[in-house]
Chain A
Amino acid sequence: MTSTGINSLRNGPDDHGRFGPYGGRFVAETLMPLILDLEAAYRAAKLDPAYQAELSDLAVHYTGRPSPLYFAQRTTEHLGGAKVYFKREELNHTGSHKINNCLGQILLAKRMGKTRVIAETGAGQHGVATATVCAKFNLPCTIFMGATDVERQMPNVLRMKMLGAEVRPVTAGAGTLKDAMNEALRDWVTNVDTTYYLIGTAAGPHPYPEMVRDFQSVIGTEIKAQFQAAEGKLPDAVVACVGGGSNAIGTFHAFLDDPSVAIYGAEAGGHGLDVENGHAASMAGGRPGVLHGNRTYLLQDRDGQILEGHSISAGLDYPGVGPEHSYLHDTKRVTYVPITDDEALEAFQLCTRLEGIIPALESAHGLAQVFKLAPTMGKDQSIVLCLSGRGDKDVESVGKYLGLLK
């Protein structure tokens, strides 16, 4: 739908919602009619100039787009190789890229006549963005959040509550993003008539992976234009962190057909890939399976039971990944690399000290990959990192890790 070339990597998904073998619509029958309605509503909205105009207006005046492309001078000097740029998605309203998708979907929910919104959240960034658009558009909303995440992301829990959302802690399993998504699906199947499920990541049943990618693709499109204006060419590499992978696919999509641009996704390596159930790197350390409506790489045991995984970052602590990433992994267009908790923490601190920017722990995984990559590249080359979120929410948990708090 998005490109014309026959061999383009930007053509997916097909009519069945597949990116190669990945994606699909693996949901209970109760949800199928609604998912088909959603797809039809999205196709119609995409072609409706009024819808597009409202979304563009909100992007400028509510979110604050375009977000700046910032030359990270001290980081560049420190690393001594490629020039490092940050795409400043953390400067968006609500503090992350998540708002891009939430605005697109809330307008769709309104068009479909839905009167209630639910969402899952890990780090709370998507929960906050959802609660924000629900406040603005006057829709009641319920956010499902793993109990472990409620604990480690308290500032975002408070923000959601102040925005008028009901936050429902989920105690099943390890109390992280996977469990929150299960519970959101249970709510959706129960309240399917009235409720819009605002999925925050580029995963789930078709058409969500496509829809979320389209709403986030503004990131890469802007990078391309801004980098052209700054350097008069394409960047040599783009980097983003990957949990479910919404900021990553949004960053990558504009560059998929530009072979000179190397693309890297930083997965959550947790305690290391050799530690069983100690990481959340579904592509580097998992294999294809079916969960939450799509076929994709998953962390699972040999009997197909899903593992909880681990990451210091709540937003990356998910055993799956968006299906388009699985496809880009198999086709090797994108290189997915695991970044450990310790590497992310080090990058978090370096960025804070060198640039005066406190990154989200999720984004710090992407930064850590930049720190590995830049010194291996020439000074005439450039890397763009999607700085997907700000780290205010993480200062308490990082403080604890660093022993600054008791």
Chain B
Amino acid sequence: MTTRIDTRFAALKAEGRPALVTFVMAGDPDLATGQAIFEALPQAGADIIELGMPFSDPMADGIAIQLAGQRALANGHTLRATLGMVEDFRRKDETTPVVLMGYYNPIFIFGVEEFLAAAKAAGVDGLIVVDLPPEEDEELCLPALRAGINFIRLTTPTTDDKRLPTVLANTSGFVYYVSMTGITGAAIKSRAAVGDAVRRIKSHTDLPVAVGFGIKNAEDAEAIGRDADGVVVGSVLIEAIARTLVDGKPTDKTVAAVRELVASLAGGVKGSRS
């Protein structure tokens, strides 16, 4: 199967630049503003969108993304509402890939097959589920592949050459290299090590490799984009949203702040191969 993700990476390869992958949390700071942010991303320069599924216990996330999930949940956000956001988005944008990212329990409770059918119908292209390693592929990864949805796996600095084939076996769409051992929002320690890791992964797979965790500005995006096929930015976008809020409520600066930051990051990505 060829998905929107495959098509987009192929097009960018022809263009000779890496993808800018942006992460925002569904329903943050509220449903309407979250939708406006989501829909503003492609225009601002995002090539692929990761939409976070809020979870009460995000064990792999730093404080910025934790708080974003809490803001969404406090407004009564549900997984069904996240799928509704994608459905609305698809009415206006048929080509930008959308990947849902989060934790397994809300999907498990929704019902795996029911969720996959609803996600496919809404126009979801891929899934990243942090707490499902290859050892648990029967749970969601294999059913997702059968449903025609990419399952994007995280690889990390602890994934050595021996384990890499196991991690890559059922991965599709792209490989998400986590630049550090740590949680979202921390800082990258060595860009050179990230480049080495990307080359190591690419020696095992033909899939595009995107790098995330710790990319904070256009400079980082440009530097990481020299080696990677995609640059993932999340926490700084969430922080930019949070800074515009007054008493947790959006202001007229909220969507604009995201638009500006994404435009700047897109500039970084575009400069990375020139």
Whether A25 and B108, one on each chain, are in contact in the complex, defined by CB atoms closer than 8 angstroms, is no
20 further interface pairs, Cβ-Cβ under 8 Å (given A189-B60, A292-B57): A25-B136, A26-B104, A26-B131, A27-B131, A28-B60, A28-B131, A28-B154, A28-B156, A32-B158, A33-B158, A34-B158, A173-B56, A190-B186, A290-B104, A304-B106, A304-B109, A304-B110, A305-B56, A305-B73, A306-B105
Whether A28 and B130, one on each chain, are in contact in the complex, defined by CB atoms closer than 8 angstroms, is yes
Interface membership of A30, Cβ < 8 A: yes
- Known A-B contacts A28-B131, A30-B156; the reply to A190 vs B183 at CB < 8 A is yes
CB distance from B181 to the nearest CB of A (A): 5
- Known A-B contacts A26-B131, A32-B163; the reply to A300 vs B105 at CB < 8 A is yes
Taken together as a complex, chains A and B put the C-alpha atoms of A304 and B105 apart, in Å, by 6
CB neighbours (8 Å) of B133 from chain A are 25-29, 32
Whether B104 and A190, one on each chain, are in contact in the complex, defined by CB atoms closer than 8 angstroms, is no
Taken together as a complex, chains A and B put the C-alpha atoms of A291 and B58 apart, in Å, by 10
Question: Which residues A165-200 have CB closer than 8 A to chain B?
Answer: 172-173, 178, 182, 185-186, 189-193
Whether B156 and A305, one on each chain, are in contact in the complex, defined by CB atoms closer than 8 angstroms, is no
Question: Which residues B38-84 have CB closer than 8 A to chain A?
Answer: 54-60, 62, 66, 73, 78-80
Chain B residues within 8 Å of A, Cβ to Cβ: 54-60, 62, 66, 73, 78-80, 103-110, 130-136, 153-160, 163, 167, 178, 181-183, 186
Taken together as a complex, chains A and B put the C-alpha atoms of A30 and B159 apart, in Å, by 7
The residue from A26, A190, A193 contacting B132, defined by CB atoms under 8 A apart: A26
- Known A-B contacts A25-B136, A27-B131, A291-B57; the reply to A300 vs B109 at CB < 8 A is yes
CB neighbours (8 Å) of A304 from chain B are 55, 79, 105-110
CB neighbours (8 Å) of B167 from chain A are 29
**Closest 9 pairs (CB-CB, A-B):** A304-B109, A304-B106, A190-B182, A30-B156, A305-B56, A185-B59, A304-B105, A26-B131, A306-B56
Q: Name the CB-closest residue of B to A304.
A: B109
> Interface residues of A: mostly helix, strand, loop or mixed?
mixed
Interface membership of A16, Cβ < 8 A: yes
Interface membership of A391, Cβ < 8 A: no
CB neighbours (8 Å) of B134 from chain A are 32
- Known A-B contacts A33-B163, A189-B183; the reply to A306 vs B109 at CB < 8 A is no
Whether A189 and B79, one on each chain, are in contact in the complex, defined by CB atoms closer than 8 angstroms, is no
Taken together as a complex, chains A and B put the C-alpha atoms of A31 and B156 apart, in Å, by 9
> Interface residues of B: mostly helix, strand, loop or mixed?
loop
Taken together as a complex, chains A and B put the C-alpha atoms of A286 and B130 apart, in Å, by 24
Whether A290 and B158, one on each chain, are in contact in the complex, defined by CB atoms closer than 8 angstroms, is no
CB distance from B123 to the nearest CB of A (A): 21
Interface membership of A24, Cβ < 8 A: yes
Taken together as a complex, chains A and B put the C-alpha atoms of A25 and B157 apart, in Å, by 19
Whether B109 and A303, one on each chain, are in contact in the complex, defined by CB atoms closer than 8 angstroms, is yes
Taken together as a complex, chains A and B put the C-alpha atoms of A298 and B56 apart, in Å, by 13
Taken together as a complex, chains A and B put the C-alpha atoms of A300 and B55 apart, in Å, by 11
- Known A-B contacts A26-B136, A28-B130, A303-B78; the reply to A192 vs B109 at CB < 8 A is no
The residue from B103, B106, B159 contacting A303, defined by CB atoms under 8 A apart: B106
Chain A 292-307, CB within 8 Å of chain B: the 1/0 string? Answer: 1101001010111110
Whether B105 and A291, one on each chain, are in contact in the complex, defined by CB atoms closer than 8 angstroms, is yes
Whether B109 and A302, one on each chain, are in contact in the complex, defined by CB atoms closer than 8 angstroms, is yes
CB neighbours (8 Å) of B110 from chain A are 303-304
CB neighbours (8 Å) of A26 from chain B are 104, 131-133, 136
CB neighbours (8 Å) of A303 from chain B are 78-80, 106, 109-110
Q: Name the CB-closest residue of A to B153.
A: A29
CB distance from B25 to the nearest CB of A (A): 14
The residue from A24, A189, A290 contacting B105, defined by CB atoms under 8 A apart: A290
Taken together as a complex, chains A and B put the C-alpha atoms of A304 and B108 apart, in Å, by 8
The residue from B56, B78, B103, B154 contacting A29, defined by CB atoms under 8 A apart: B154
CB neighbours (8 Å) of B108 from chain A are 289-290, 295, 304
CB distance from A116 to the nearest CB of B (A): 14
CB neighbours (8 Å) of A16 from chain B are 135
Whether B158 and A30, one on each chain, are in contact in the complex, defined by CB atoms closer than 8 angstroms, is yes
CB distance from B272 to the nearest CB of A (A): 26
Q: Name the CB-closest residue of A to B62.
A: A186
CB neighbours (8 Å) of B159 from chain A are 29, 32-33
Q: Name the CB-closest residue of A to B183.
A: A186
Whether B163 and A189, one on each chain, are in contact in the complex, defined by CB atoms closer than 8 angstroms, is no
Whether B55 and A305, one on each chain, are in contact in the complex, defined by CB atoms closer than 8 angstroms, is yes
Taken together as a complex, chains A and B put the C-alpha atoms of A145 and B80 apart, in Å, by 34
CB neighbours (8 Å) of B80 from chain A are 303
Among A34, A295, A304, residue most surrounded by chain B Cβ atoms (within 10 Å): A304
